[in-house]
Amino acid sequence: MFAVEVRDHVMIAHSLPSPVFGPAQGMHGATFVVDAAFFTADIDAHGLVVDIGLATEALTAALAPLRYRNLDEVPEFAGKFTTTEFLCRFVFDALAAAARGGGLGDGGRLRRIRIMLHESHVARAWYEADL
C-alpha cells in the first residue's frame, strides 16, 4: 500500500459540556495540526498516489468550516461533543466526499483515508477507514 500525507492546521474554540470532560467543560480552545493521509494500492503513470496540490487544497477546504471558529456556534455540530475524535471523523467525511466527487482527481484509485489531529505535544487522535 502506498500513502501520501499532507499537513495543515486550524485554531478553534469550543466547550465540552459534560462532567465527563472535567476542566475542559467550559469554553476553551485548541490548535489542531491536521495530517491527512491518502492510500492507494499502486501509483499512477506519473508515479503519484494523489496530486499533492489537490490533496492540500482538499484538506484546506475540509478544514474551512472549522478555521477560527467557535464550534459551539456551528449549526452542524449542535448537540454534539466536538472532541478531537469527532473532528477527525468530520474531516474524514469531508475528504471522503471530495474523493467521491472527483475533487482529488484520482479516478477512483483512492482506497483509504486517515485523518490525524494533533492537539498538543502529548496527545493526538485519528480516524482511518476505507473509502
Q: Where along the sequence are the contacts to a copy of itself (CB under 8 A)?
A: 1-9, 11-14, 18, 20-24, 26-33, 43, 46-49, 51-53, 56, 67-70, 73, 80-86, 88-89, 119-129
Q: Which is nearer to a copy of itself, 85 or 100 (CB)?
A: 85
Q: Which is nearer to a copy of itself, 4 or 98 (CB)?
A: 4
> Phi and psi dihedrals of 94, rounded to 5?
-65, -40
Q: Which is nearer to a copy of itself, 80 or 100 (CB)?
A: 80
What SS3 class is residue 51?
coil
Q: How far is the CB of 101 from a copy of itself (least distance, A)?
A: 20
Give the integer Cα–Cα distance in Å for 131 and 109. 10
Strands 110-120 and 28-40: antiparallel
Question: Under a CB-based contact definition with an 8 Å cutoff, are residues 9 and 34 in contact?
Answer: yes
79 secondary structure, DSSP code: T
Q: How far is the CB of 16 from a copy of itself (least distance, A)?
A: 8
Q: How far is the CB of 73 from a copy of itself (least distance, A)?
A: 8
Q: How far is the CB of 31 from a copy of itself (least distance, A)?
A: 4
Q: Which is nearer to a copy of itself, 21 or 93 (CB)?
A: 21
Burial class (CB in 10 A: 0-12, 13-18, 19+), 13: middle
